[in-house]
Chains A and B, each alone.
Chain A
């Protein structure tokens, strides 16, 4: 790589730079603010959210200006194909919604530090790097930028025991998983002499058709360890165990952010790795990967759903729900390996839908948290009668639950059709039957919250502390609710948007 190469690649990283600049500005604002009001700084979220949204919207605008091309830039480390641009756009949009929702918690939860926005934005820039990376090291750097920021966000409620515990658990298991990934990457590098996905793919086809003992084994073990690293980030069973604890312990706004953006970024990076490094970008791929993914998918869906059924804590239930969804998405990934384009389209479409619905659900949880309420436990009885006390929130939550369980006319139904279809088409009938059965089971726990909201009387004694109205949260909830419905009823535009990604 030389200077002119770098200059040619410059426009492609401008969106990331825009997000990072936004993060730096909010960080400086936080410092300035804390000088003014050091003790119980009741800082208003408004300016922070505004700066964050401006940088994200600007990044989105820049992304739309980039002409997709097949050749990777920056010495072959960053892709600017449609998958990369659409994926980054998706993350930016969902992150913008998530950050807006978090604004409410700044006041209700007494988290009076503007660093929340800076860390979120840095995190987003790491995700964008992950999604665009076509090479193991670049991916790893993106992964760490994202992860380190998220670890801190999880522990953001400094005085809360659970939040701290969640942060440490997530951090240690995350670092552990990163080490596995890196060790795998080193082995792959050893076997193939490169870390670029395209190069790995070429060597892999050659190595695996031959019988060169040490190198072939090295490649297999290395690639598998990389897959394990990805599986950790998407919370696939048995690498999911951090997720329920971290989701439950983290501040709700961070849980929502994690459940959606981290999962989406990790999934799209995983997809690129599997398609390009373990396959040739179309439907040829190393044979074992389909079996590994199918196995992970089955275990993940089933365990996720059955555990979710047992939960009484809604945050933890949603954590298991997000694990179960990782399983569904893995089914889609099996389809993507076997069928290419339509499955990738379905997968990204589902990520979008899952993102809107899950984020919306967490948004409602945030809206229900009360000012100075002790870190709300969010047990299911807490939801009794919420449907009549706050009809709009109740209806919105019901819409999200229907979407997550895949009931028409919400987008969840269309999403599941597009997600499972290609896998079935490729002959993975058992896998799809397990997936459909699982989504039947999932209705039980999604629906039980709705039942509590609309069909039980509220408990007589309730905290009289008013909820805090936040225009940012309200706006984000309106967008997610209507998004789920509109995408469900008029899916074609959105499906087209995710077409021709590979």
Chain B
């Protein structure tokens, strides 16, 4: 079981809280960069769970996964920023509300 002194429920609660903050960030903030950062927060919430449960189950896989996730997050950020630059070139903004060319026409 968990060798550290924190009950596993608390860790889950923390991870869920982080995740929800991330979700709210994506839903509410208008700047694409902040939205990207919120996604990173969501990924880190997942990472936290992986690490803690790896500890709990006593398997190394959880920790390994968190490294993979970090790598993936970095790749994602790189691609995301590149796309954002493309958007900035054509739209001159990073506000998602300005990106409304594609929608259901009536």
B87 at the interface (CB under 8 A from A): yes
Contacts A148-B76, A169-B99: A179 and B46 contacting too (C-beta < 8 A)?
A: yes
B17 contacts chain A at the CB level, 8 A cutoff: no
Cβ of A439 < 8 Å from any Cβ of B?
no
Q: Is the CB of B72 within 8 A of A168?
A: no
Complex Cα distance A172/B79, Å? 11
Q: Are B42 and A183 in contact, CB atoms less than 8 angstroms apart?
A: yes
How many whole Å from B19's CB to the nearest CB in chain A?
Answer: 6
The interface-forming segment of A24-32, A39-47, A151-159 is: A151-159
**What distance in Å separates the Cβ of A32 from its nearest Cβ neighbour in chain B?**
22
- Contact across chains for B91 and A190 when beta carbons are under 8 A apart: no
Task: Tell me whether A481 is interfacial, beta carbon within 8 Å.
Answer: no
Which residues from A are CB-within-8-Å of B26? 172, 176
B binding-site residues for A, Cβ under 8 Å: 8-9, 12, 15, 19, 22-23, 26, 32, 35-36, 39, 42-43, 45-47, 49-50, 52-53, 56-57, 59, 61-62, 64-65, 68-69, 72, 75-76, 79-80, 82-84, 86-87, 89-91, 96, 99, 101-105
Q: Please, how many angstroms separate the alpha-carbon atoms of A137 and B99 in the complex?
A: 33
With A137-B68, A151-B80, A168-B86 known, 16 other A-B pairs at CB within 8 A are A137-B64, A140-B69, A144-B76, A159-B90, A167-B83, A168-B87, A168-B96, A169-B102, A172-B36, A175-B39, A175-B80, A179-B43, A186-B46, A190-B52, A194-B59, A245-B102
Determine whether the beta carbon of A179 is less than 8 Å from that of B42.
Answer: yes
Q: Return chain B residues, CB-CB under 8 Å to A195.
A: 61, 65
Instruction: Tell me which residues across on chain A come within 8 A of B102, comparing CB atoms.
Output: 162, 165-166, 169, 244-245, 248-249
Question: Which B residue sits closest to A135, measured CB to CB?
Answer: B61
Known: A158-B86, A194-B61, A214-B9. A185 touches B99 (CB 8 A): no
Is A187 part of the binding interface, using a Cβ–Cβ cutoff of 8 Å? yes
Query: Chain B interface mostly helix, strand, loop or mixed?
Result: helix
**What distance in Å separates the Cβ of B83 from its nearest Cβ neighbour in chain A?**
5
Indicate if the CB atoms of B101 and A182 lie closer than 8 Å: no
Q: Does A312 contact B (CB under 8 A)?
A: yes
CB nearest to A249 among chain B residues: B102
> CB within 8 Å of B: which of A158-214?
158-162, 164-169, 171-172, 175-176, 178-180, 182-183, 185-187, 189-190, 193-195, 214
Interface centre among B26, B39, B64, B75 (most CB of A within 10 A): B39
Question: Once bound together, how far apart are the Cα atoms of A241 and B51, in whole Å?
Answer: 33
Q: Let me know if B49 and A171 touch, CB within 8 A.
A: no
State the Cβ distance, B53 to closest chain A Cβ, in Å. Answer: 4
B12 touches A175 (CB 8 A): no
Query: A141, B83: Cβ atoms under 8 Å?
Result: no
* 6 closest A-B pairs by CB: A179-B42, A186-B49, A193-B57, A190-B53, A245-B102, A182-B46
A218 within 8 A of B: yes
How many angstroms between the C-alpha atoms of A176 and B38 in the bound complex? 9
Of the candidates A166, A168, A189, A249, which one forms a contact with B84 in the assembled complex, judged by CB atoms under 8 Å apart? A168
A-B contact count (CB 8 A): 135
Q: Tell me, rounded to whole Å, the shortest Cβ–Cβ distance linking A189 to chain B.
A: 6
6 sample A-B contacts, Cβ–Cβ < 8 Å, listed by A number: A168-B32, A172-B26, A186-B49, A190-B49, A193-B59, A218-B12
The answer to whether B83 touches A164, judged by C-beta atoms less than 8 angstroms apart, is: yes
- Given known contacts A144-B72, A244-B104, A164 and B87 CB-to-CB distance under 8 angstroms: yes
Contact A152 B99 (CB under 8 A): no
| Main DSSP-derived SS at the A contact region | helix
- CB A118 to nearest CB in B, in angstroms, measures 14
Residues of A close to B89: CB separation below 8 A: 158, 164
Specify which chain A residues have a CB less than 8 angstroms from the CB of B96 in the assembled complex.
Answer: 168, 172
The answer on a CB contact under 8 Å between B49 and A140 is no
- CB-CB under 8 A from B45, the residues of chain A are 183
Q: Are B22 and A179 in contact (CB under 8 A)?
A: yes
Q: Are A193 and B36 in contact (CB under 8 A)?
A: no
CB–CB B101/A162 < 8 A: yes
* CB atoms of B87 and A165 under 8 A apart: yes
Specify the chain B residue showing the minimal Cβ separation from A307.
B104
Docked CA distance A255–B93 (Å): 25
Contacts of B35 in A (CB 8 A): 172
Q: A185-B46, A190-B56, A193-B53 are in contact. Are A151 and B79 (CB under 8 A)?
A: yes
Taking the closest CB of chain A, its distance from the CB of B50, in whole angstroms, is 5
Bound Cα distance from A390 to B18, whole angstroms: 57
Q: A155-B83, A189-B62, A218-B12 are contacts. A148–B75 as well, Cβ < 8 Å?
A: yes
Assembly CA distance A144 to B70 (angstroms): 12
Instruction: Give B54's nearest chain A residue, CB to CB.
Output: A189
Asked whether B84 lies within 8 Å of A190 as measured between CB atoms, the reply is no
Bound-state CA distance A162–B80 (Å) is: 17
Q: Tell me, in angstroms, the Cα distance from A176 to B43 when the chains sit together.
A: 9
Contact check, A161 vs B91: say whether CB atoms are below 8 A apart: yes
Contacts of A187 in B (CB 8 A): 49
How many Å lie between the Cα of A158 and that of B75 in the bound state? 20
Taking CB atoms, residues of chain A closer than 8 Å to B76 are 144, 148, 175, 178
Complex Cα gap A146–B80 (Å): 14
